[in-house]
Structures are given as C-alpha cells and as structure tokens.
Amino acid sequence: MSDVLTLHAIAQLVPVGSHVLDLGCGDGELLDHLQKTRQCTGYGVEINDYNVIACVKRGVQVIQLNLDEGLNLFSDQSFDVVLQIDTLQNLRNARTMLRETARVGRVGVVSFPNFAHWPNRLSIMHGRMPVTRRLPFEWYDTPNIRVGTFADFESLARKNNLQIHDSFGLQDGKIIRWQPNLMAGTAVFKFQG
C-alpha cells in the first residue's frame, strides 16, 4: 500500500487505540502507520517470507500463516478491527475468510480492486481483460484469483448477514461516494457480523 492518501483513508476507519489484526499485511506499512498515528496495537498476518522480514524490520508483530487455512488460531471477537486490504481477491476461500473476519473482529474493513470501474468495463467491451494502474497484471499472471465489484460485495455481505457501516470507493487518492461501483478502482467496506 504505497499510496499515502489510500493509507490515510483506510486508517481513518480504525478507531484510535484499537487492537488490530491485519490479514495479508504485506510489508507491514499500514499496521506500522496505525501504531504510530492512531496508537493501535496488534498483529499482521503474512505468508511471504520477504514481507515477514520487512514487518519485523518495521517493528510490526507478524505471524506467518496461510490465510487459506483459516483463522482458528484466534478466538471470537479477539480484535477490535480486522483488516483485509487487497487480500480478499487473492484467497481461494474468500467467503469463509469474510465470515472469519467478522468472527474474530468486532469490526471488519476490506478493500479490493473494483472490477466494475469504468476503464475496466471499457477494456472488456473491447474484448480484452483490463490492465490498469490498479490491475497491473495480464490475465495470465495476475495474483487476483477472484474478481469482484462494489455491488458484488454488497450482495455477499447480505448473504453472510453482515451489516455494512460504511462504504466508499477510492480513486487517485480520493474518496468516491457517488457511484463508486462505476467511478472507483478500489472498493472499501467497513462492516460488522
């Protein structure tokens, strides 16, 4: 998460002093930011060896764990906030992990590439899978094994009895609340089980 404005928009969804679990935390940038600016505590979960080392170097507590194996390590409501920032679309068990996020945390925050963003739609209309700044990989080498939209997540939340407390899109560092399914490359949701 190298976009500073995106980092701040996500961080604002996390109450000051929260105990946070960051699933798929990458190099720990977000959790480090939350610890320094919002007095949060918590853990990152990451599978990649390089990213685990980067977290340790930042002073972020990290657990090396494959999220496809679930969150049995954590008890119900053991965190104030559970984050899945650009993680859900990479998981084989996305629906299960969404339920686990709601089980382990009092509040969940997810973000993912919004496949319904207008440039993506235009690309598909021209017969090609989109390659954009937000989706920089060709169809054959993308780490995204799931493609979803803002509207798809709303439907999935209903199916899982999740209450959405806030939702918006992010585009070029700006929060998009008007037609985010069309106008934003990233979908962001704050929800509760």
Give per-residue pLDDT as tens, 25-68. 999 999 999 999 999 999 999 999 999 999 999 999 999 998 88
pLDDT classification of 145: cutoffs 50, 70, 90? low
Confidence of residue 17 (pLDDT cuts 50, 70, 90): very high
CA-based nearest residue to 1, from 42, 38, 40, 44: 44
The token pair at 96 is 């299960």
Cα separation, 30 vs 18, whole angstroms? 13
Structure tokens at 93: 């068990």
Which token pair is 58?
């930042």
Instruction: Quote the mean pLDDT of the chain.
Output: 89
What whole-number percentage of the chain has pLDDT above 90?
Answer: 61
| The model's pTM | 0.89
Q: What are phi and psi of 26, to 5 degrees?
A: 60, -130
Tell me the three state secondary structure of residue 5.
helix
Q: Counting Cβ atoms within 10 Å, is residue 158 exposed (0-12), middle (13-18) or buried (19+)?
A: exposed
**pLDDT at position 130, please?**
67
Token couple for 166: 């806030």
pLDDT in tens, 66-108: 888 889 899 999 999 999 998 888 888 888 888 899 999 999 9
Pick 31 or 131 by higher pLDDT. Answer: 31
Distance of CA 99 to the CA centre of its chain: 14
Which fold, 4-115+147-192? Rossmann fold (3.40.50)
**CA-to-CA dists, residue 75 to 98, 100, 106, 164, angstroms:** 15, 10, 12, 22
- For residues 143 and 152, give the distance between their C-alpha atoms in angstroms, rounded to a whole number: 19
Point out which residues pair with 191 in neighbouring strands. Answer: 108, 164
Query: Domain spans of the chain?
Result: 4-115+147-192
- Please state, in angstroms and rounded to a whole number, the distance separating the CA atoms of residues 42 and 61: 7
pLDDT of residue 188: 95
